[in-house]
Chains A and B, each alone.
Chain A
C-alpha cells in the first residue's frame, strides 16, 4: 500500500501539488489522470525520489520513502519516465540494468531472472537486438521488463502507452495489469486516455488545475469531475461491455482554460 498524506510541492515558489492525499493498494492499477501541467509527472518523480520529497509524506507499506538511501529506494521502486532515449546496447543488457540496485548484481541468478522476464513478455527473440532498432511498442516492453527485473514493490509508469499503436497500447497495459495482479505490486500509471484508464485501472487519482478532484475507485468517477478537471463535457456509457467516456464538447472550457497552468 502506497499512502500519501499532505504532500505539497512547487517549483521555485510556483506550487504544483498542495496537500495531496492518496491511498494506492497493491494488486490493482491506480490511474493518475488530469490535464497537462497539473503535476502528474511531478507526483511520480516525488515518489520515485527524483525530486526532494518532504519527510513523512509518502509511505510505502509504512516506510517513509524520504528516509531510504538511493539504493534501498531503487530496490523498492521502479520508475518509467515519459520519454526514453535508448542507449546503444542489446535488449538483454538493457533489461539486465534493472538488477543494478540489487547487491547480487549480475550473478547467474540475475541473468536467469532477466531471461525469464524476456520470455514472459515475449521478448526472447529480440534479446540480441540493439534497443535503438526497436519499435516504440517493443522498446516500451523492454523498459517494462527492466522495471520488473528490478523486483520492485511499487511500479511508477509515466504515460507508458503514449506514441504506441492501438494493439501495443492494449498489450502493454494488459502486461502491466497482469504483473501488478500476479505479484501483488502497487502500480501507479499516468494515462491520458480516459478509456484505457477506465478499462485497466481500478483506482484513480484525478488531478485538476486546483488539486485532487477525485481519489478512490474508478467506478465512482463521475462525469462532472472529469469536466471539472479537463474543462470539457463528457458522456459516460458502455460499449460492448466496456466502460467508456467520450468528450462531448468544450462546454466548460472557457473558465477552465484560464485556470490551467503549465508546470
Chain B
C-alpha cells in the first residue's frame, strides 16, 4: 500500500503515531474526493440524455420537488432520478458484497458473480415470475416490466442467492478448498443456475419469458421508487452491520488461527458477513438483473488506492461501485442515444480497462 499522493508522503522524522494519523487523514481525503466525484457524476447523469438540461434548470427542478409542473419534472423525478438512484445503490450494494466476500473468504477472485450468487438470485426471480406470476410485461411506457409482487420476487431471489452462498460456504469449509477451487465451484454453481433459468424461461409464455429476460443482462431502466427504497433499506442494514465488524475482518485477513487467537469469532463473522453479502447481491439482482464485474473490480480498485484496511475498504468500495455503475449507465445511455445499452455490458466495457490501468500503475 503506497501513499496515495506521493508528494504528500509523511516525513520520516515524524513519530509513528503522527504518521498513522496522517495516513488516516489522507485516506479520508480519498473518500471525500470520491464522494465529490460521485456528486458531480450524479448531476451530470441527471442533466444529460436525449432531453438535455442545464445545471441551473436541473437544480431548480430538484429543489422544486416531485410535485412540480412540466415535462422536465416528469423526466427528472419520474425517470432519471430513480434510475440514477438505482445505479448508485445497486453499485454500492454489489461492490460491498464483493468486498465482503473477498475479505471473508480471503479470495481475490470472489464476487457475487464468480460465486454464482447473482445467478442463483436471477433463478429465484425467474421462478417467481414464471411460476407465481409475480411479473408482467407492458407494451407501453418506460416501465415495460412491472413486478406485481416485488416481495415475492425479492424473497425468491434472496432464497436463490443465499442458497448459492450457503453451498459455497459449505463446500469451502467442509472440504477446506483452496481459493481457486472455491471460485471454480462458484462458476459451476453459476452455470448451473443460469442453465436452470434458461430452462424455466424456455417453458414460460412469451410475455413471461420477456419479463424474465432482463435478468440475464442487467438493466437499470425498470427501477422505480419502490425498488430504490428496498435497495436503500438493504444497503443501510447490511452495509452498516458488517462495517462495525471491520476490525474483526482485518484480523481475519491474517488467517483463521491468528484471528481466533485475537478473540475473533471467525465462524460467526464469516457466516453473517457472507449472508449479508449474498442478501445485498440478491436484492440488487432481483430488481436489476445480473450486473457482473462491479463486485469484482470495485474492491480491487480501492485496495490499490488505500490498502485492505476494512474500515476504509468497505465504505470506499461502496462509493467506487456506485461511481462505476453510474458512469457505466450514463455512458450506456449517451453513447448510442436514443438506444440505451444494457448496463451489465457497459460495466465490463468500462471496468475492465480501468482495472488493467490500476494494475499496471499499482505494480512496481
A→B interface (CB under 8 Å)? 45, 48-50, 70-71, 73-75, 77-79, 81, 84-90, 92-93, 97-98, 100-101, 105-106, 111-112, 114-115, 118-119, 124-125, 127-128, 130, 150
Contacts and interface: CB of A to CB of B under 8 A. Distances in A.
Nearest to B252: A87
Contact of B260 (A70, A124, A150): A70
A112 B16 CA distance: 9
B15 interface: yes
Interface of B: 1-3, 10, 12, 15-17, 19-20, 23, 247-248, 250-251, 253-255, 257-258, 260-265, 303, 307-309
Nearest to A72: B263
Given A87-B254, A87-B308, A93-B20, 19 more contacts: A48-B261, A49-B260, A70-B265, A74-B261, A85-B254, A87-B253, A88-B307, A89-B307, A93-B250, A93-B309, A97-B251, A97-B262, A98-B262, A100-B248, A100-B251, A101-B262, A118-B16, A127-B19, A130-B1
Given A88-B308, A89-B1, A97-B251, A50 B260 contact: yes
6 A-B pairs closest in CB distance? A74-B263, A127-B16, A87-B253, A79-B261, A88-B308, A101-B263
A150 B262 contact: yes
Contact of B247 (A49, A87, A97): A97
Contacts of A115: 15-17
Contacts, number: 100
A100 B264 contact: yes
23 contacts: A45-B257, A70-B263, A73-B263, A74-B263, A79-B258, A79-B261, A81-B257, A81-B258, A87-B253, A89-B309, A90-B307, A92-B20, A93-B250, A97-B262, A100-B262, A101-B263, A105-B247, A115-B16, A119-B16, A124-B16, A127-B16, A130-B307, A150-B262
A127 B10 CA distance: 11
Contacts of A119: 16
A125 B12 contact: yes
Contacts of B262: 74, 97-98, 100-101, 150
B20 to A, nearest CB: 5
A106 B261 CA distance: 18
B177 to A, nearest CB: 17
Nearest to A108: B17
A44 B88 CA distance: 49
B17 A88 contact: no
A100 to B, nearest CB: 5
Contacts of B16: 92, 114-115, 118-119, 124, 127-128
A71 B15 CA distance: 31
A150 B258 CA distance: 12
Contacts of A130: 1-2, 307
Contacts of B264: 70, 100
A238 to B, nearest CB: 38
B1 A88 contact: yes
B87 to A, nearest CB: 29
A127 to B, nearest CB: 4
B93 to A, nearest CB: 24
Contacts of A106: 247
